[in-house]
Amino acid sequence: MIPSGLTEYLQAHRQEHLASLKEFLRFPSVANVTSQPDHCEQCAQWLGQYLRDLGMTVRIVPTGNKPNILAKARASDSAPTLLIYGHYDVQPPDPLGQWQSDPFEPEVRDGYLYARGADDDKGQFFTHLMAAEAWQRAGGGLPLNLKVFVEGEEEIGSPDLEAFVGAHADELAADAVVISDSSFFAAGVPSITYALRGLACVELSLTGPAADVHSGIHGGAMTNPINALAKLIAGMHDAAGRVTLPGFYHDVVELSPQERDQWASLPFDEAQYAASLGVDRLGGGEAALSVMERRWSRPTLDCNGIVGGYTEKGTKTIIPSTAATKISMRLVPHQDPERVADGLREYLRQNVPPGVTWTLDMSAGARPVLLNHHSPTIQAARDAMAEAFDRKVAMIRSGASVPVTELFQRILALEPALMGFGLPDDRLHSPNERFALEQLWGGSLASAAFMQNLATSLQG
């Protein structure tokens, strides 16, 4: 049970914590913006001071782009150590015209805190700082040792992350790690995520003539790169929605009947889900499978963007010299990003028509994650969520990728707890991102309980 003093402290200090979170959110810490002043640097400095004010020892560590933050607080030599991960960088706020309030001037409306980063990930991460403060000031001190790792490049694909984790493995060493960058399955359904899809992102370019040429004079005599690219993309799926790349499904493990039954029991309304996306019906993916299976346990291939030729207003009758597309493939446990990319290369060797040449560049990759959801860390998180939100906790997968999870598994030999407090309609990466205040308050209670549960479990 959470000590009553902690609950009372967190309730009494809600407005102070909300004011501090608003300060945190006011920094437009967009990692892919290079203009001055550097708001990521300013945000990191602010957060470093906030952690020092909580009694932590703090280092702000430069990387190839934006700095990371390492902090720690010691309870005792015999206590276990919990590593808390978060990221302070955020997505760009565009399109600005669709926001109902300034994305970097946080505003509370109807029980929600609106701002860029309110959910992803400043608000979720901040719950742990609230819990740590409550333990220190109302709980007689931390029940375990804490380490904090806050990244500044998550939203641009974490280009420096793997090298950073490897180089700082000793500083990051812990007995458990928690990541709060996910969500409940639905409002009122607290959830622990035990699997994430991986990612392979590529850029495919086709080149035909040395320059754009007249489509009347030369049309019919040469391959049009846009036509060829469109046919290649269309051929990457068959009529049943399965991906046609050689070997694409070789490492995919079929879903167990137990998991299928568990997912079927979740409160999911397909028509409501479609409406929330602004479509009249769902499509895409493997038609024979349920929507939940297609989102959580099956790999996908999607064209994210396509360019080529003349795109301005009016007509320009050309056969373009080049055409290009960006493709992302979401991968499930046991698939390897490089092996999947090799399958795409083989597909292209077999299907690119004569008269064009092609290049394929892999721009990002992340391995999928499957966690042991009976581990002490996840059990401690599950019990904490149930206590804080007074609901049965759902064990779910996610179709998204959180690459640091796999790095903590592989490099630090830790089984992370994905303990997210967001809601599915929090509009991540979109205008009017928000975080429910009840999720903020409940998340701080869950974090406090998790720290106690973990200390008891790992010391016991």
CA 343/CA 245 separation, integer angstroms: 6
Full residue range of the structural domain in which residue 337 is found: 198-252+299-363
| 118 and 229 share one domain | no
| 177 and 94 share one domain | yes
CA 196/CA 400 separation, integer angstroms: 6
Within 8 A by CB and 6+ apart from 249, the residues are 242, 243, 299
Tell me the sheet residues that pair with 206: 323, 358
CATH code, 233? 3.30.70.360
**Is the residue at 288 inside a domain?**
no
Residue 215's Cα: distance from chain center in Å? 44
Token pair belonging to 315: 């007509």
Q: Kindly indicate the confidence band of residue 317, based on its pLDDT and cuts at 50, 70 and 90.
A: very high
**Is the residue at 267 inside a domain?**
no
| 214 and 237 share one domain | yes
Cβ contact 30:90 at 8 Å: yes
Query: What is the average pLDDT across 285-289?
Result: 91
Q: Give the max Cα distance, the chain.
A: 83
DSSP 3-state assignment of 164?
helix
DSSP 3-state assignment of 404?
helix
CA 59/CA 72 separation, integer angstroms: 9
107-109 and 81-87 strand pairing: unpaired
Alpha carbon separation from 50 to 46, 125, 130, 364, 392 (Å, rounded): 6, 13, 11, 33, 34
Report the pLDDT value the prediction gives residue 460, as an integer from 0 to 100. Answer: 62
CA 126/CA 108 separation, integer angstroms: 17
- DSSP class of residue 35? P
Please state, as a whole number, how many other Cβ atoms lie within 10 Å of the Cβ of residue 221. Answer: 9
Query: What is the average pLDDT across 75-104?
Result: 97
pLDDT in tens, 113-164: 999 999 999 999 999 999 999 999 999 999 999 999 999 999 988 889 999 9
Which of residues 339, 363, 387 is at a domain's end? 363
145-151 and 198-207 strand pairing: unpaired
**Is the residue at 46 inside a domain?**
yes
Which of residues 320, 341, 363 is at a domain's end? 363
CA 450/CA 135 separation, integer angstroms: 12
Which residue blocks in 3-121 are alpha helix, DSSP H?
4-12, 14-25, 39-53
- DSSP per-residue letters across 309-355: S--SSS---EE-SEEEEEEEEEE-TT--HHHHHHHHHHHHHHHPPTT
**Is the residue at 20 inside a domain?**
yes
CATH code, 64? 3.40.630.10
pLDDT of residue 35 exceeding 70, the answer is yes
Element (H, E) at 381: helix 376-389
Q: Give the burial class of 342: count Cβ atoms within 10 A of its Cβ; 0-12 exposed, 13-18 middle, 19 or more buried.
A: middle
Report the pLDDT value the prediction gives residue 330, as an integer from 0 to 100. Answer: 95
pLDDT in tens, 335-376: 999 999 999 999 999 999 999 999 999 988 889 999 998 899
Site of tokens 């974090």: 447
| 187 and 203 share one domain | no
Strand runs (DSSP E) across 93-136, as ranges?
107-109, 112-114
pLDDT of residue 196 exceeding 90, the answer is yes
* Cis omega (within 30 of 0) for bond into 67: no
Element (H, E) at 398: strand 394-398
Q: Kindly indicate the confidence band of residue 400, based on its pLDDT and cuts at 50, 70 and 90.
A: confident
| 181 and 68 share one domain | yes
| 8 and 42 share one domain | yes
Mean pLDDT over each residue of the chain, to the nearest integer: 95
CA 69/CA 125 separation, integer angstroms: 13
Q: Kindly indicate the confidence band of residue 293, based on its pLDDT and cuts at 50, 70 and 90.
A: very high
Which of residues 319, 348, 363 is at a domain's end? 363
Site of tokens 């997210």: 420
| 41 and 105 share one domain | yes
**Is the residue at 286 inside a domain?**
no
| 402 and 388 share one domain | yes
Report the pLDDT value the prediction gives residue 358, as an integer from 0 to 100. Answer: 98
- Residue 280 has φ and ψ, to the nearest 5°, of -85, -20
- Residue 91 has φ and ψ, to the nearest 5°, of -70, 155
| 36 and 182 share one domain | yes
CA 115/CA 102 separation, integer angstroms: 7
| 378 and 417 share one domain | yes
Within 8 A by CB and 6+ apart from 293, the residues are 255, 260, 263
Token pair belonging to 349: 């060797």
**Is the residue at 164 inside a domain?**
yes
Cβ contact 386:445 at 8 Å: no
112-114 and 357-366 strand pairing: unpaired
Exposure on the CB side of residue 81, measured as CA atoms within 13 A: 15
Q: How many domains does the chain have?
A: 2
Report the pLDDT value the prediction gives residue 229, as an integer from 0 to 100. Answer: 98
Query: What is the average pLDDT across 296-317?
Result: 96
Report the pLDDT value the prediction gives residue 373, as an integer from 0 to 100. Answer: 84
| 393 and 314 share one domain | no
Token pair belonging to 159: 């280009």
| 191 and 204 share one domain | no
**Is the residue at 95 inside a domain?**
yes
Look at 451 and 35; give whichever has higher pLDDT. 451
Amino acid at 426: D
**Is the residue at 274 inside a domain?**
no
CA 405/CA 412 separation, integer angstroms: 10
Cβ contact 304:328 at 8 Å: yes
